[in-house]
Amino acid sequence: MKTPVSVLRLPRGPDPNSRGFDPSSPRFIALCPTSISACNEPGTDAGSLQTEQHARSMMRERFLRCLLSMANKQIQFDMYERVKVNATFGASDIDVLNFQVSDLQTPIGVQSEALIRCQDVISYSFDM
């Protein structure tokens, strides 16, 4: 009889019925500061909340479309400690904390698939 293997319980994924990231998840609280500042200030009215939310949606939509256009393009990542690497962009996670890339060119060889932590990245660039 084979030795039983302990079951690996993965953390729960995002709620499939919700529209986006979960601001109460420990991961989000630890790694992404809140930017809903209008809610935190006392004395804000519905009008200013609405304009703030409009600004947020407009800017987030532009950013998401930028991410979409990066798919399958060659990106150059500038990271800390003067590390510069090239890779083909695959996808980003919803909090923009990790990028999935292919053919990551590193000084010790090419990684066919890799996850890059966005916190290690200073900037990245690509050509349209």
| Residues engaged in binding another protein (CB under 8 A) | 21, 32-33, 35, 37-38, 51-52, 55-56, 58-60, 62-63, 65-66, 68-69, 78, 80, 82, 95-96, 118-119, 121-128
Let me know: does 85 contact 112? Beta carbons within 8 Å.
Answer: no
Nearer to another protein, 73 or 113 (CB): 73
Alpha-carbon distance of 28 to 123, in angstroms, equals 21
| In the complex, minimum distance from the CB of residue 101 to another protein, in angstroms, rounded to a whole number | 14
Nearer to another protein, 56 or 110 (CB): 56
Nearer to another protein, 72 or 112 (CB): 72
| In the complex, minimum distance from the CB of residue 16 to another protein, in angstroms, rounded to a whole number | 10
Contacts 24+ apart (CB under 8 A), 101-105: 101/75
| In the complex, minimum distance from the CB of residue 67 to another protein, in angstroms, rounded to a whole number | 9
Residue 18, token pair as written in the block? 């919700």
Alpha-carbon distance of 80 to 119, in angstroms, equals 9
| In the complex, minimum distance from the CB of residue 17 to another protein, in angstroms, rounded to a whole number | 10
Radius of gyration of the chain (CA): 19
By DSSP bridging, strand 83-92 and strand 98-106 are antiparallel
